[in-house]
Structure 1
Amino acid sequence: MNVDRLKCLAGSAMVLALAGTISGYWSDAAAETVVDDAALGDRGQKDNWLAYGRDHSEQRFSPLDQINVDNVGKLGLAWSRPLPEDRALVGTPLVVDGVMYFTGSYSVARAVDARTGKLIWEYNPETLKHAGDRARMMWGWSRGLTFYKGKVIIATADGRLIALDAKTGAPIWTTQTFDPKLPLHISGAPKAFRDLVIVGNGGSEQGGGRGFITAYHVETGEQAWRFYVVPGNPADGFEDEAQAMAATTWTGEWWKIGGGGQTWNAFTYDAEFDQILIGTGNGGPWNQKIRSPQGGDNLFLCSVVALDATTGKYKWHYQTTPGETWDYTSTMDIVLADLELKEGEGRKKVLMHAPKNGFFYVIDRKDGKLLSAEPFAKVTWATGIDMKTGRPIEAPGARYEDKPITIWPSVFGAHSWHAMSYNPNTGLVYIPQMELPTHWDDTKIDFNSWKKPSFQIDVGVDVGLGSDIPKDAGTSFLMAWDPVKQKKVWEVPQPNYWNAGTMTTAGNLVFQGRIDGKFAAYDARDGKELWSVNVGSGISAPPITYAVDGTQYVSLLVGFGGAAVAYGGGSSMAQYGWGYRAQLRQLLTFAVGAGKPMPEVGEPTFAKVLTPDGFTPDDKLADRGQHVYKASCAWCHGAGAVSGGYTPDLRASEAVVHTEQFKAIVQEGALAPNGMPRFRSLSDDDLKALQNFIRKQALEAAQPASN
């Protein structure tokens, strides 16, 4: 493992430090909070937001109640910080002793005064420079960072883990967490516990191979342990008994195909059982007929896996979707709680989990035993969960065995990574729930010639990403769910789908941002909307709350992002006008009685497609271009070449029309510093095909709508 000790602010690591501000701020500060496992395990501490889910429980519940159902209507803007260089902002800020830490685009880390938003320091890991051509398969957003014993630790999209001095932003150590030759990337937040920090990665769709999670020593950055989600080649031997056991659930030569199981989110430390709980990812490719042709459960895909916190050794697992073939990851929140499931039997130490597949699970943390499971959204791939075996009861034809099928939930899930929260006072979980389907069709896939992709997208089944996603593709709700009774208590309809994560408080409040730019507070007991504000741009990040000098604040990053915006996109996302760099990204903070005016961020904008005279798309070339687009371009530019706002809409791009300019950008990397990577593997014929496909999409969009 390559670990570099950095003793000065030199080289490519750039730190902007406001020297007087740093020394002055901490010299005036009160006694500092030591952020260790004792602090992270203290659910009663109020003022700080110390971890991704506020504390080790991942409940995203704050005991603060200064802002409550009686006065939340008086919330106003206390301060804002413009973030003009950022794009997608999906992360959770942390607050420690009046300082807020957060990551922006490409993992740029910042510390600001949590009372005013004034910058204390900024660290730029220069992610695009380090990634080079690998940027063609990574996204630029970061879900956050971790804080532990005076260190802020960030993970970059290109695969580095970097520890920074929390007071100055100066780098302490950096570690490359995976082989840069592999098509892997990081979008999730690392997690610190027991003097370790863990981080996973993504890449199943691009041929990333065996998924794994790695723990590093917080003090040095040296690797402590690694756990593989998917077993390797049996001829090479297995790392441990868990890998040998998992190998019996696979068929064919899965180690050559890829396997998948990348762990890019959902890490929870359970101190009571001294275990780290990992939510694992989907198969690579998605289609099980390719990666494991004779079936099998394919452990440890789409599972909750418990590992010994010190050694990383396997303890137990529960698989939510055995033999998955629908991208039903379990990389969603794993929330800890003590619940009385049956009257008179006392409280059980459980975890709560609502993964993509549409079922809400309550699982015993001691041994992984399933205690209850019910659907919380429309589910057609399975009719229920067999409580004797813990396995889903699959619906006939759900695996698209003989013909195409449309099933719910979609590849975006009934619940994605957008955080759910749990309020122990109300006993309810607040879920950003979605309902939309995916049409699965592998009738045109040649299983005999299929090859593992590398830095391109091939999931082994057609799910329609070459076509636009219509405006009315899905619906969604903010749902309050009773995990004991396993039933819905209330729901609030929301626009479209892909609304942001939630946060709940002892003031009987639930806060959530929405796709249409609305940030709202609801009564946690009945869902009544009590306050809202329009922030002028789509919201994808979850809010936090904290207190400084006796005042409670609520903060939120604003910058539309996530897979549905980039990879999905289409008209379903584009309809709101949150165009590429069209609105100013920002950090907003609210308090009762504050009254600063909301900042002007820019009006909604919509793509004006170009239809140049004299360019008539060739249908055969356009068909080939669609395949090239799905493999290399859809990851960021959206389904059907309709951008959701993460990147420019190619149908409106002058560069696409002019061959030499298009070539300079795509093949030669003319816009690489802006985040548009170089695709040296695409030939001139590929570019010509792409031009025809994009121009065809533009012409179709320019046609007047039929009545």
Structure 2
Amino acid sequence: MKFIVIIFSFAILSLSLFSESNTDWDLLGNSSNIQHHSNLEQINKSNIKDLGITWAVDLPTQDGLVGNPLIKDGRIFQSGSFSRIFANDLKTGKPLWIFDPVDRAQIGASLMEGFATRANRGVALFEDLVIVVSRCKLFAVDQATGLKRWEAPTCDTKTNWTGGAPRVGGGMVFIGNSGFDSGLTRGFVDAFDAKTGKKVWRFYTVPGDPKKPQDNKLYEMAVKTWGEGWYDNLKGGGNVWEAMAYDEKLGQLYIGVGGSAVDPRTRGKNIGDELFTTSIVALDAKTGEYVWHFKMNPQDGWNYEPSIGIMISELPLGPNGENKRVVISVPKNGFVFVIDARTGKYISSNNYVDVNWATGHDENGRPIYTEIAKWWKQPPGTKVRIKPGGMGSHSFDALAYDPSKNVLFIPAMNLDYDYGIPAQKTEGIFGDLGVSITPSEGRSGKLIAWDPVSQKQIWSVEHERPMNSGLLHSSAGIVFQGTAEGYFKAYDSSS
């Protein structure tokens, strides 16, 4: 099966558009702040009616394209299933080369490994290299020729998977691991020298075996938050499968850490925060040393991980209205969080979709749970509808941002779950966790414009289906989005 990359522009503008040096989009989100904002204004509200296809090309990949394309020096780079990299000429769409890192014969038959090898979330660019992760290996490829320059192991394929888009910053490339929400792996983030592939550091997101000495005092503290007996069935989880942001100004790497096993009953007794799962963690990007963390969902039982939707901004939140450097997080749980980038201190939050698992957060950012939230404490055979469900109200689809007006744009979902413990034990990937999605009439999507200072909605647009594409904002005051029905749409960012 083939999938298509399409480039839009105007016939009258196409040559000048592609000759501009600022058409490079060589970082995910177009900057280390990951705001998915473009300063280009050639496509504006007056002429957008003339927007049309400049070229389209079939890519020989077996599944849909998940990662965002990157652009540098007249070439467009896109990853596909099995971590293949496709390079095309930006002006014409002409195929330049294909890099295929995967030996299909080595791929196992399990659902987890099949998904992990097929759903690649993108590439990174560094100097003259394009970098992709595949089956626990990083590959660096020459941008001009498609020839491999180096490769480096990241994990063990017996217990781990990788499929996220690498991030680059400070001469290093960063990558986490995946665990398929099983809790059977120990989450981590690795840093490699981007030029050579040499490993520089590793940070574990959860403690090790509690019966053995911990790596350092940080994990001696963290292991006390896991309760008793958790390591008998699990290895912690806390996978960093997508969200990372490199802060050039502060020299920090922010990571969104996933949860442990989905069902809290399979974890420890008397559990606490289970650090550092479902947290935003700041690391010293040079050394991998812990700086701070913000715990988002203590005792998570809803898959509300903040492993998606991190960006960096400056907001007028200082004592005298001066700008404060912040991390904005839009996780799965239905809230927008603003966190002090220097300290990790909670600043504010509010829900941008309907939620019923919490009524809000206290002054420290701890959720105020409702009575129905902890579904696992209900009698067997009882179902509780939780808003949002485990797919979340926002996934890894790209957020966008208008830095001139401090407006956040969110591709949101209304997709609730009915949670419950079956009256009889069932088998499956997640044991006897019984989860069903609400009827189809309850599903929908939204494009939301959000003020992160006041934490209020500015406007929203309804979508018929919940899962739509990520976003791009331009200085011309336009927000672009693809929809589940196959349309490419443009919206006035002010209304």
Give TM-score scaled by structure 2 length.
0.91
Q: Alignment partner for residue 391 of structure 1, among 349, 362, 366? A: 366
Tell me what 1:352 maps to. 328
Secondary structure at 1:405 match in 2: strand
Tell me what 1:700 maps to. none
Structure 1 segment 425-464 matched on structure 2, within 5 A: 425-444=404-423, 457-458=429-430, 461-464=433-436
The CA deviation at 1:475 is: 1.5
Tell me what 2:167 maps to. 191
Q: Does 1:493 align with 2:468?
A: no
List per-residue Cα deviations over 1:360-396 (Å, max 9, x = no partner). 1011100001111111111100000102x22000001
Letter in 1 for 2:466: Y
Q: Does 1:422 align with 2:397?
A: no
Letter in 1 for 2:315: L
Structure with more of its chain in helix, by fraction: 1
The CA deviation at 1:274 is: 0.7
Between the aligned partners of 2:106 and 2:422, the Cα distance in structure 1 is 40
Q: Does 1:518 align with 2:487?
A: yes
The CA deviation at 1:196 is: 1.5
Cα 1:79–1:280 shift into 2, 3 Å = same
Structure with more of its chain in strand, by fraction: 2
Secondary structure at 1:322 match in 2: coil
The CA deviation at 1:201 is: 2.0
Between the aligned partners of 2:431 and 2:144, the Cα distance in structure 1 is 44
| Cα contact 1:435–1:476 (8 A) shared by 2 | yes
Between the aligned partners of 2:217 and 2:171, the Cα distance in structure 1 is 26
| Cα contact 1:405–1:441 (8 A) shared by 2 | yes
Tell me what 1:296 maps to. 272
Q: Does 1:504 align with 2:481?
A: no
Cα 1:460–1:428 shift into 2, 3 Å = farther
Tell me what 1:682 maps to. none
Tell me what 1:405 maps to. 384
Between the aligned partners of 1:147 and 1:222, the Cα distance in structure 2 is 17
Q: Alignment partner for residue 158 of structure 2, among 174, 181, 192? A: 181
The CA deviation at 1:516 is: 0.8
Q: Alignment partner for residue 151 of structure 1, among 109, 121, 129? A: 129
Q: Number of matched residues?
A: 469
Tell me what 1:36 maps to. none
Secondary structure at 1:106 match in 2: helix
| Cα contact 1:426–1:524 (8 A) shared by 2 | no
List per-residue Cα deviations over 1:606-658 (Å, max 9, x = no partner). xxxxxxxxxxxxxxxxxxxxxxxxxxxxxxxxxxxxxxxxxxxxxxxxxxxxx
Between the aligned partners of 2:328 and 2:103, the Cα distance in structure 1 is 34
Q: Does 1:62 align with 2:29?
A: no
Letter in 2 for 1:180: T
List per-residue Cα deviations over 1:280-326 (Å, max 9, x = no partner). 11212x12222122231111111110011011111100011111111
The CA deviation at 1:128 is: 2.9
Letter in 2 for 1:475: S
Between the aligned partners of 1:90 and 1:167, the Cα distance in structure 2 is 23
Cα 1:445–1:181 shift into 2, 3 Å = farther
| Cα contact 1:381–1:407 (8 A) shared by 2 | yes
List per-residue Cα deviations over 1:158-182 (Å, max 9, x = no partner). 2221111111111112222111221
List per-residue Cα deviations over 1:573-617 (Å, max 9, x = no partner). xxxxxxxxxxxxxxxxxxxxxxxxxxxxxxxxxxxxxxxxxxxxx
List per-residue Cα deviations over 1:108-136 (Å, max 9, x = no partner). 10111111111111111125333233565
Give % identity.
35
Secondary structure at 1:380 match in 2: coil
Secondary structure at 2:231 match in 1: helix
The CA deviation at 1:359 is: 0.9
| Cα contact 1:476–1:495 (8 A) shared by 2 | yes
Secondary structure at 1:56 match in 2: coil
The CA deviation at 1:474 is: 1.0
Cα 1:369–1:329 shift into 2, 3 Å = same
List per-residue Cα deviations over 1:672-704 (Å, max 9, x = no partner). xxxxxxxxxxxxxxxxxxxxxxxxxxxxxxxxx
Tell me what 1:161 maps to. 138
Q: Alignment partner for residue 326 of structure 1, among 302, 311, 335? A: 302
| Cα contact 1:429–1:481 (8 A) shared by 2 | yes
Letter in 2 for 1:66: Q
| Cα contact 2:313–2:325 (8 A) shared by 1 | yes
Structure 1 segment 229-244 matched on structure 2, within 5 A: 229-244=205-220
Secondary structure at 1:463 match in 2: strand
Tell me what 1:104 maps to. 80
The CA deviation at 1:425 is: 2.2
| Cα contact 1:142–1:188 (8 A) shared by 2 | yes
| Cα contact 1:364–1:371 (8 A) shared by 2 | yes
The CA deviation at 1:472 is: 2.4
The CA deviation at 1:248 is: 1.3
Tell me what 1:691 maps to. none
Secondary structure at 1:414 match in 2: coil
Q: Does 1:261 align with 2:209?
A: no
List per-residue Cα deviations over 1:393-450 (Å, max 9, x = no partner). 000131121233211011111111111111112321110111121111125477xxx9
Tell me what 1:365 maps to. 341
The CA deviation at 1:277 is: 0.3
The CA deviation at 1:208 is: 3.1
The CA deviation at 1:470 is: 4.1
Between the aligned partners of 1:409 and 1:115, the Cα distance in structure 2 is 42
Secondary structure at 2:164 match in 1: coil
| Cα contact 1:474–1:497 (8 A) shared by 2 | yes
Cα 1:126–1:503 shift into 2, 3 Å = same
Tell me what 1:132 maps to. 108
Secondary structure at 1:129 match in 2: helix
| Cα contact 2:279–2:297 (8 A) shared by 1 | yes
| Cα contact 1:137–1:206 (8 A) shared by 2 | no
CA RMSD of aligned residues (A): 2.0
Q: Does 1:227 align with 2:203?
A: yes
Cα 1:445–1:482 shift into 2, 3 Å = farther
Between the aligned partners of 1:136 and 1:341, the Cα distance in structure 2 is 43
The CA deviation at 1:222 is: 2.3
| Cα contact 1:290–1:460 (8 A) shared by 2 | no
Between the aligned partners of 2:34 and 2:263, the Cα distance in structure 1 is 32
Structure 1 segment 304-323 matched on structure 2, within 5 A: 304-323=280-299
Between the aligned partners of 2:223 and 2:182, the Cα distance in structure 1 is 22
Tell me what 2:260 maps to. 283
Could you list the runs of 5+ residues in structure 1 that have no partner in the other structure? 1-44, 527-707
Secondary structure at 1:133 match in 2: coil
Structure 1 segment 538-577 matched on structure 2, within 5 A: none
Tell me what 1:381 maps to. 357
Secondary structure at 1:53 match in 2: helix
List per-residue Cα deviations over 1:444-493 (Å, max 9, x = no partner). 477xxx9xx9xx7226521137xxx6432411110000101100000000
* Between 311-320 and 399-408, the greater mean CA deviation after superposition: 399-408
Tell me what 1:616 maps to. none
Tell me what 1:171 maps to. 148
Letter in 2 for 1:395: T
Secondary structure at 1:260 match in 2: coil
| Cα contact 1:195–1:218 (8 A) shared by 2 | yes
| Cα contact 1:214–1:225 (8 A) shared by 2 | yes
Give TM-score scaled by structure 1 length.
0.64
Between the aligned partners of 2:276 and 2:431, the Cα distance in structure 1 is 19
Letter in 2 for 1:150: D
| Cα contact 2:182–2:260 (8 A) shared by 1 | no
Could you list the runs of 5+ residues in structure 2 that have no partner in the other structure? 1-20
List per-residue Cα deviations over 1:181-202 (Å, max 9, x = no partner). 21x2222101111221111122
Between the aligned partners of 2:431 and 2:255, the Cα distance in structure 1 is 23
Letter in 2 for 1:324: D
